[in-house]
Structure 1
């Protein structure tokens, strides 16, 4: 029994010693460490190069690289790449740590890591713009908005400049230096349509020629070197924001069901996704409905006798990517069912009365028009006076048509002469 235990102890000891020796030999056989790591940049593109003396006939040496920043230690990591250079587009607004080491997959040998840390932007911290956001609004123009930096001066004058990727890629890659950033800004296009608040630019919009090409942007204050620049990039077609939908129809199908239709431009209904917000004004209850690939919906109302409001927002369907929502449409009101009943009663009374009045007016007008167009034929007997005289004319060649004139009243006329004066008589003599 004792011999068996001693044999087992020797076996375990041998395995332990072999593991130690193997580990020691592995640790001692390190690959050469990459040296002379250099960084070059072209606008938003960073290019690293390094040198290595790895000449190993038994394996193909691979280089593992990692790009990190303080809040995200594994922001970008590439493995199993054989070239001795790397080019990446990453967030240029923070410290960038680049790490590279060589590895031999056949035997697991690795080199020590080589690191390079750098901050590409200049200026005082917390002076760069915050909450920077851009959208391709309704396929018409790029609209960017931001807030001023927490420690920016009160009279900061932010300026937005931009490039398309094919334009920036033509620039030569250069080693970063103090004036390199300003040299790059000199090749950019400037945005001119700014939105101001209290004299500070907080947004700008501009048109682009190619929505499929990457757009690269910088916001900074050219007149103040203490303001930290802000970098960003995006592809316009991936940030499409639609304009607010237009509600075209709201109607009650039955007592407790409404039909809503709307239009979304410039997309087809099959490309859009919409949300409908229905609010009960009696109790404040809010219901959200979703409709995909269609611009109409039937909604069952919980309380037909309540008044509701409805508004809609839309975006491009999720199957095409993650797109921002549009603004809410104009809010529409849906009246309560009892109001519809009252209106129906009023219409049921007013319509017959209105029809009757219009009928009477129409009859009177038609009668007058007939009299004007077809006047009545006069009675031929009226121009001949007494019917007896007419009979005499028909029986005899002549008839006494003399009418005895009425008795005339004769009045006598007396001439009254005034007496002549003596003066007049003497003058006549």
Structure 2
């Protein structure tokens, strides 16, 4: 039996390599006319056929690329495979029908039709804000680098669970050429089953290969931030109790399915300045109340506290100092249940702490005292080595001729003409009458 399956597998891979442009189910049997009209109901996962002979037991085998062999035993010309088998079609399928204890068997292959490389690539979806989902893809490209025909248009269909019908996207995302490259969904509900996505294509020049994929929706969800984050701090003993509620989801009512990451950092101030040595930075850490000056380029940042991970909706912060100001953020990811294991979005910043520190006032006082001392020093140096007369030159008064003596022949007038600071030059002028 296994030799037969091995031969069938080799045949199947060769057919996959040299597939025709259009194909459905092709069968080859050990005896002609034993099994006819072989069909596969993709939604119900039912394999059916017609036979000219009645047998009591049939063995059905299903194999897909990248999967193991699924074996089913039936007592009629109908094999129903388990519904939990999520088998994508675009990779091709292999069926075998056998009658036990005989050499009667039939092997059938399903190979999607279409031009090689015309199916979409890089298909991905993400759920955000609880019920919104975006799916995106790129136009197909074969191994030689040829794109799908320019007029190719793609259409997305999806099925949230097995009980639902395939529905087409209602809001496509288009590129600059008008080609559909994504889809936006609203009111998406996450269920335990895998969702089925299928992207078909159409072109006037050639047939386009389909692409399909099964995705567990909870794995692609970006969790919202935890809700109602509160901080209650006490002085005796010093500490803060942090509480919150789980992030909102569309499919969970339990609270023990999450792990939380808590980030608490001291608030810092960063001042950038330009100096002769390049760009520098000044950090003022509220926790240590120290000033660090750096000259020249530097990528050093204030030291951060490592985040803390917990599995409950409360945390006791012990390193609280009321003189400091702290910044709190929390995010979540799935720890169990059907929740994404990727970290979700951070909550908004929550500040706590009084931030009272008298050292700041001491620093400001010392700066003011130093400014006064420098000013007084400059004043005494100036008074010692410079004269105020050199700065404020006296203005000579006009001569009063009414009160001057008639017999006075000579009047001497002194004029101060400053040339250089801290020096005086005297010029004598005689007037002859």
TM-score by length of 2: 0.49
Instruction: Name the larger-Rg structure.
Output: 1
The structure in which a higher percent of residues are helix is: 1
TM-score by length of 1: 0.49
